[in-house]
């Protein structure tokens, strides 16, 4: 059974940083294209950042470009999201999602992915 576990959320002041982690077990991590989504109260879930199976292709939504960095360590079955210069509008529950594919990331931000975590809360105070 595939397990997806996020960690690293918390409360931070505007301008601060957080690093989220997502660890997956029960499947071959190297086969997975990984995506971070987020959902703020009263808003739809949105794609934030994506990384392909070997880490040589990444994709970001416009509002986080230059501030967030997605990466992965296949030896540790873990993906990361380094979030710098955080803004109050980044406040949301962040979800890790994955699917087996070798395709590059794109702006489609499909949500019909087979593997999802429970989410980790990120709160940015002004």
Taking only the tens of pLDDT, the chain with its 126 residues reads: 999 999 999 999 999 999 999 999 999 999 999 999 999 999 999 999 999 999 999 999 999 999 999 999 999 999 999 999 999 999 999 999 999 999 999 888 999 999 999 999 999 999
Q: Can you list the positions of beta strands (E) in 1-126?
A: 3-7, 10-13, 18-25, 32-39, 46-51, 58-60, 68-73, 78-83, 92-100, 115-116, 120-125
pLDDT confidence of residue 112: 93
Distances (CA, A) of 106 to 3, 35, 56, 61, 71: 25, 11, 14, 10, 16
> Using alpha carbons only, what angle is made at residue 93 by residues 92 and 97, rounded to the nearest 5 degrees?
130
């Amino acid at each position: 059974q595939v397990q997806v576990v996020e960690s690293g959320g918390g409360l931070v002041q505007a301008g601060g940083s957080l690093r989220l982690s997502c660890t997956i077990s029960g499947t071959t991590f190297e086969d997975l294209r990984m995506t971070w989504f987020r959902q703020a109260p009263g808003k739809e879930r949105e794609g934030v950042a994506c990384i392909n199976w070997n880490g040589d292709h990444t994709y970001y939504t416009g509002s986080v470009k230059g501030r967030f960095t997605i990466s992965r360590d296949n030896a540790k079955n873990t993906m990361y999201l380094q979030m710098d210069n955080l803004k109050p509008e980044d406040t949301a529950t962040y979800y890790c999602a994955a699917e087996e594919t070798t395709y590059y990331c794109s702006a489609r931000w499909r949500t019909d992915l087979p593997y999802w975590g429970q989410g980790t809360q990120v709160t940015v105070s002004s």
